[in-house]
Structure 1
């Protein structure tokens, strides 16, 4: 298992030259022109010389003019913890020609914890959720939050949802930076009920998530039932999405949004 973020310290500049309109992202998905609230989340770190440098590349979902949700592990970097960091959010189908951009600050779930009980894998984290507060608003549309226990009731058995993000379509490094989506199955994870399990695709029309899709939404219509968290390094599934309908998630989100539905 591995996190679904992508390091893009130099990748973004390189891919700007190599990107083509046919580039892809979600594995076995299609280019997405529908879910305009799915956004790219870039992390930057400020070095001691004052320069801001690219670090992680993730996905996210816009739920209000100045609020984006993503995965907490997208803030993890191999630098001293007191070095400032910020989010660079890009809106549009193609991050190399974004329709809009905004800077923001990361706010990590206070109980985000690697190796703690409740994680879907011993080496990974529970409460893998962060809120980005933007310095300037982005226009809608905006995704909706789920009501309490929405996913718990809807996904007690495997059902279909839509996974979306800006990540790779295959390894190594193919397709980064174009918004894609795919249908996939999902069920509440029996070993980690704060998460949805997206199994290895059981139908030919299903796709999977890959590196760079961390923080992107698992969608039922316009409702974000979870954000993508951890998956197989080979990007063929299974993967896990952190649920947004649990008490742990909604208590945190209520500091920034009305979660009453």
Structure 2
């Protein structure tokens, strides 16, 4: 299946071809201890992304995983995609993995679920000459037909926005490095927030330095604040690029969209 490349190409950006790049969640740790089982792999006809279980029958991911056309990177000119003019995917498959050892090797045991996609009504993505310029309200949920068994959802919303220099956990199913072929392993790591953007339309935070970033396939995956008091879902991966002479990955802030997310959790369709 073709990997979804939405949100990978910002204006003026490029991707290094070296497999030694520090540009991947996998520079963190393979999740063999199943610490982040709530992070799931999401499939649509367009490709694969990550997501996070926030209720027994509800997965939160990125709207661009479902609402950008597969050929957006080859389209010349300026294109603006919204939930009104884009043909967003209406169905998605979700795989929840549990890792275990078999014959001395770690293997992922998947459980598969099907669901209906509901993108944020204010989602907007501007693409110029095949390069994504911006995403707004880049969130979507997948309403599952049945509850995911044996996994505790990670749906705790933050009461305060993240801050620069805050240490956050990033989780996703992207490859271990650019051009690597090991897509589909759940990995996690920490990085420090370098920028918080809260304009009228854009609510996101970014990592512009550090070892752990995201790659294709990590879009839609979660960022967590973890303390002795608990775990909070503070962001959803929106993409990555090269910027300011280094690597950059960014996340839609759940703090500013927590009312919308809570409404999705209360929807009778998933309760």
> Deviations along 1:138-180, whole A, 9 cap, x unmatched?
02211132234x2x2xx33311011000011112143200000
Measure the CA separation in 1 of the matches of 2:116 and 2:153: 19
Q: 2:265 aligns with which of 229, 252, 257?
A: 257
Asked if 1 retains the 8 angstrom alpha-carbon contact of 2:222 and 2:235, the reply is yes
1:12 is matched with none
2:241 is matched with 232
**1:109 positional shift:** 0.5
In structure 1, runs of 5+ residues without a counterpart are: 6-24, 45-54
Compared CA separation, residues 196 and 36, structure 1 to 2 (3 A): same
Asked if 1 retains the 8 angstrom alpha-carbon contact of 2:175 and 2:182, the reply is yes
RMSD: 2.9
SS at match of 2:65: helix
Asked if 2 retains the 8 angstrom alpha-carbon contact of 1:59 and 1:215, the reply is yes
1:184 is matched with 191
Q: Which has the higher strand share?
A: 2
1:196 is matched with 205
Alignment of 1:104 onto 2:115: yes
Asked if 1 retains the 8 angstrom alpha-carbon contact of 2:170 and 2:221, the reply is yes
Compared CA separation, residues 93 and 185, structure 1 to 2 (3 A): farther
SS at match of 2:64: helix
2:124 is matched with 113
Compared CA separation, residues 208 and 256, structure 1 to 2 (3 A): same
1:21 is matched with none
Q: 2:255 aligns with which of 217, 225, 245?
A: 245
Q: TM-score, normalised by structure 2?
A: 0.70
**1:4 positional shift:** 5.0
Asked if 2 retains the 8 angstrom alpha-carbon contact of 1:145 and 1:244, the reply is no
> Deviations along 1:40-81, whole A, 9 cap, x unmatched?
01113xxxxxxxxxx221000001110000000000233896
> Deviations along 1:206-228, whole A, 9 cap, x unmatched?
41111100010001122110000
Alignment of 1:125 onto 2:135: yes
**1:97 positional shift:** 4.5
SS at match of 1:124: strand
Alignment of 1:3 onto 2:7: yes
Compared CA separation, residues 200 and 242, structure 1 to 2 (3 A): same
Measure the CA separation in 2 of the matches of 1:253 and 1:190: 20
**1:186 positional shift:** 1.4
Measure the CA separation in 2 of the matches of 1:86 and 1:28: 32
1:77 is matched with 69
Measure the CA separation in 2 of the matches of 1:91 and 1:99: 5
Measure the CA separation in 2 of the matches of 1:199 and 1:83: 30
Measure the CA separation in 1 of the matches of 2:170 and 2:116: 25
1:135 is matched with 145
1:38 is matched with 39
Measure the CA separation in 2 of the matches of 1:84 and 1:226: 22
2:78 is matched with none
Please list, as runs of the form range in 1=range in 2, the aligned pairs for 1:22-37 lying within 5 A after superposition: 26-32=25-31, 33=33, 34-37=35-38
